[in-house]
């Protein structure tokens, strides 16, 4: 008993009946790596590279500087996987040299991949820096784009990755409802998808994630959000592709079980949440997670979904 619980507190993520769910860390740079390793993260599921760009608002960091920082992160996970997200500027993270200052509605403006496609040199430099950083390392490097809306976006990103000579898996974040609805067509261009549930909630409910008064609509237990997750996970599974979650939703242990039940294949979160998610997942069977997911989707509200899932997972 003691050994089993010890195992569950340090080992790889899995349900009690052995269904593997890699537990990965969200990081903002090399400073976060130690905590991720200490928490037993099996790799990085979201490296938010924008922090590297915030120091100097006048220009992007040089390719050499970027290579150095990416290398530090990649070296920390010699056998693991590291999913790097290319620069996600705009909206709540404006960058002077990239983000238009006159947008009436920045969250719906030129942000994420959209701004990189308008500044292809910035994207190319970042992708080349990643290619150089990974050179000679056994790490499984994956690179994904934020704010992919449709297949054309996914193709433009994959083309840029190929042009930069990047030998990595290319993926798309699903954080716009159009991408969740048509995940299958996005997966015709890229190899995996990763759900950014923070923005996906914002765009599904037309509720600004920075407006506290709208927190009820930002709740990732909202059944409409769970429906979109299910749709995306089913599309990925039909093509035998990975469908991760790297938004805040993955850090809620109960919701993590529901996400697994919906078909999500990996979970990425702040290092501080990994132990709790690992322990909760280790107590549920895959069948229980699936029943909890069904019960949550049958509810009509976020609190109702949570109660229903809790009921199933606690064996009531």
Site string for Mg ion, 292-311 (x = CB under 5 A): --------------------
175 binds ligand PEP (CB under 6 A): yes
Site string for ligand PEP, 235-274 (x = CB under 6 A): -----------xx---------------------------
Footprint on residues 109-168 left by ligand PEP (CB under 6 A): none
Task: Compute CA distances 180 → 148, 174, 219, 232, whole Å.
Answer: 10, 6, 18, 5
Which partner, Mg ion, ligand PEP, none, binds residue 153 by CB below 5 to 8 Å per kind?
Answer: none
Q: Which helix (H) or strand (E) holds 242?
A: strand 242-245
Token look-up 């997942």 returns: 281
Which partner, ligand PEP, Mg ion, none, binds residue 90 by CB below 5 to 8 Å per kind?
Answer: none
Which partner, ligand PEP, Mg ion, none, binds residue 246 by CB below 5 to 8 Å per kind?
Answer: ligand PEP
Q: Which residues of 142-161 are buried (b: 16+ CB within 10 A; e: fewer)?
A: bbbbbbbbbbebbbbbbebb
178 binds ligand PEP (CB under 6 A): no
Task: Compute CA distances 66 → 29, 49, 157, 169, 236, whole Å.
Answer: 11, 9, 19, 19, 31
Task: Compute CA distances 108 → 104, 223, 242, 292, whole Å.
Answer: 9, 23, 27, 34
Q: How far is the CB of 85 from Mg ion (least distance, A)?
A: 9
63 binds ligand PEP (CB under 6 A): no
Rounded Cα–Cα distance for residues 72 and 195 (Å): 26
32 binds ligand PEP (CB under 6 A): no
Footprint on residues 106-165 left by Mg ion (CB under 5 A): none
199 binds ligand PEP (CB under 6 A): yes
> 44 forms bridges with which residues in the sheet?
25, 82
For 137, counting Cβ atoms within 10 Å of its Cβ (0-12 exposed, 13-18 middle, 19+ buried), the class is middle
Task: Compute CA distances 234 → 161, 171, 228, 279, whole Å.
Answer: 26, 16, 10, 26
Q: How far is the CB of 136 from ligand PEP (least distance, A)?
A: 29
Which partner, ligand PEP, Mg ion, none, binds residue 80 by CB below 5 to 8 Å per kind?
Answer: none
Site string for Mg ion, 192-231 (x = CB under 5 A): ----x--x--------------------------------
Out of 48, 111, 151, 291, name the contact with ligand PEP by CB under 6 A: 48
Pair 291, 309: CB distance under 8 Å: no
Site size with ligand PEP, rule: CB under 6 A: 10
Instruction: List interacting residues with ligand PEP (CB under 6 A).
Output: 46, 48, 88, 175, 196-199, 246-247
Q: Which residues bind Mg ion (CB under 5 A)?
A: 175, 196, 199
């Amino acid at each position: 008993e003691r050994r089993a619980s010890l195992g569950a507190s340090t080992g790889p993520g899995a349900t009690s009946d052995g269904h593997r769910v890699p537990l990965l860390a969200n990081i903002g740079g090399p400073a976060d790596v130690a905590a991720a390793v200490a928490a037993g993260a099996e790799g990085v599921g979201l490296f938010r590279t924008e922090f590297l760009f915030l120091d100097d608002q006048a220009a992007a960091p040089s390719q050499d500087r970027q290579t150095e920082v990416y290398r530090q992160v990649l070296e920390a996970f010699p056998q693991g996987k590291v999913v790097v997200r290319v620069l996600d500027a705009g909206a709540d993270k404006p960058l002077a040299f990239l983000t238009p200052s006159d947008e009436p509605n920045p969250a719906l403006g030129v942000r994420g991949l959209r701004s990189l496609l308008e500044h292809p040199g910035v994207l190319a430099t970042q992708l080349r820096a990643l290619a150089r950083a990974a050179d000679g390392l056994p790490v499984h490097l994956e690179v994904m784009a934020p704010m992919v809306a449709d297949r054309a976006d996914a193709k433009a990103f994959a083309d840029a990755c190929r042009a930069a000579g990047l030998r990595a898996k290319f993926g798309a974040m699903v954080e716009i409802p159009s991408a969740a609805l048509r995940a299958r067509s996005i997966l015709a261009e890229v190899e995996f998808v990763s759900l950014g549930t923070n923005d996906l909630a914002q765009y599904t409910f037309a509720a600004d994630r920075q407006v506290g008064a709208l927190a009820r609509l930002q709740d990732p237990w909202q059944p409409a959000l769970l429906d979109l997750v299910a749709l995306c996970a089913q599309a990925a599974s039909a093509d035998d592709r990975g469908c991760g979650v790297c938004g805040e939703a993955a850090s809620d242990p109960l919701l993590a079980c529901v996400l697994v039940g919906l078909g999500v294949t990996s979970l990425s979160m702040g290092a501080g949440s990994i132990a709790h998610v690992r322990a909760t997942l280790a107590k549920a069977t895959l069948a229980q997670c699936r029943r909890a997911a069904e019960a949550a989707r049958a509810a009509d509200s976020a609190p109702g979904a949570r109660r229903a899932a809790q009921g199933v997972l606690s064996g009531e």
